Structure 1
């Protein structure tokens, strides 16, 4: 089935994309084009789980939900799969979360998609109006927090190993790269 999808040579509509159903590939839709990345590494997944665990208590207290690797509709025809999102209350049985429900989005940089996370997705998330963008960089062992200001992300903090990021919005949490990142 996958080869037929990728060999078609024409833009894909959101309806066609959603009709694919669940796949074993990590497939995102960018304005009619499919973007496919390999499965994340175990290190990537450990970081994602640890971050979700650290954010969960603050999210619960604020009435928010933390989720990993879910479909987010940034606009019609543009559906991404961020590594982690913090949302308002949503329908947990819907296959796609609308951007308006997402308060914080997080990407964990992988060598295979670093430019996509730092440039393309950052731009798409800003255009969609997602208020907070958290970028975890395992290679440099840093966490970068961006806030949406006047339609663009402004870097609010860079947290390196040994330091602590204190989140106050959209939830209260304390995150340290040392707590997230397995030994190099």
Structure 2
């Protein structure tokens, strides 16, 4: 007796045009649709602080640009909106499409964890895997509740956790020459 096959619905970039502009975040990872509501105030506050710190450094160095909630279209089945991204001038000039979305990985992606097991799992597993496979060079996962930052760096072709920073630590990166940020300043 043949068992009926159940085919999993796969979403693509074109499907995103069907959704309303309702303040929710619609992302597709490996053809799976994720819908999240607006994040907590403190989540957004941390995003602004990280973005401002990176943007100030970017303006001083002229090496690239920082953007909050950019659209990144890796392909038809992978379309995400990280909290913060930094891309070099070269990457921007080579991979910004007519709609203003990156079509290649920025060098740095930052996700600030949203409340809920599924949200955390998406950032720690699905997005980590996606960003790793797409060539992101550094990925910061920020936990505003625990006031810590996990830094993943590309080693041997994949993103690996290299350090977890806490309130008394300084955040710097070989990717960002002379960048330095006190972790505590992100959470005050």
Asked if TM exceeds 0.5, the reply is: yes
- The answer on 1:167 being equivalent to 2:173 is yes
- 1:110 pairs, out of 114, 125, 129, with 114
- The answer on 1:55 being equivalent to 2:54 is yes
- What is the Cα deviation at residue 176 of structure 1? 2.1
Higher relative contact order (CA 8 A, sep 6+): 1
How well do the aligned residues superpose, as a CA RMSD in angstroms? 2.1
- What is the Cα deviation at residue 95 of structure 1? 3.9
* Separation of aligned partners in 2, 1:172 and 1:118: 27
* Separation of aligned partners in 1, 2:88 and 2:172: 20
Hey, what does 2:141 align to over in structure 1?
A: 135
Which stretch of the first structure deviates more once superposed, 86-95 or 51-60? 86-95
Secondary structure of 2:38's counterpart equals coil
TM, length-normalised to structure 2: 0.82
Q: Which runs of 5+ in 1 are unaligned?
A: 1-8
1:28–1:80 CA contact under 8 A, matched in 2: yes
- What is the Cα deviation at residue 19 of structure 1? 5.6
Deviation by residue 1:120-174 (Cα, 9 ceiling, x = unmatched): 1111100111111011111221111111112321222221111111223135321
Following TM superposition, the consecutive aligned residue runs of length 4 or more in structure 1 with deviations greater than 4 angstroms are 18-23
TM, length-normalised to structure 1: 0.83
Hey, what does 1:98 align to over in structure 2?
A: 103
Which structure has the greater CA radius of gyration?
Answer: 2
Hey, what does 2:68 align to over in structure 1?
A: 68
Deviation by residue 1:11-57 (Cα, 9 ceiling, x = unmatched): 33322324647442111012332101121111011100011111112
Which stretch of the first structure deviates more once superposed, 35-44 or 148-157? 148-157
* Residues 123, 19 of structure 1: alpha-carbon distance in 2 compared, 3 angstrom cutoff: same
Which stretch of the first structure deviates more once superposed, 124-133 or 169-178? 169-178
Hey, what does 1:4 align to over in structure 2?
A: none
How many residues are treated as equivalent by the alignment? 173
1:165–1:175 CA contact under 8 A, matched in 2: yes
- What is the Cα deviation at residue 79 of structure 1? 0.7
Secondary structure of 2:107's counterpart equals strand
1:75–1:99 CA contact under 8 A, matched in 2: no
* Separation of aligned partners in 1, 2:75 and 2:178: 28
Q: Which runs of 5+ in 2 are unaligned?
A: 1-7
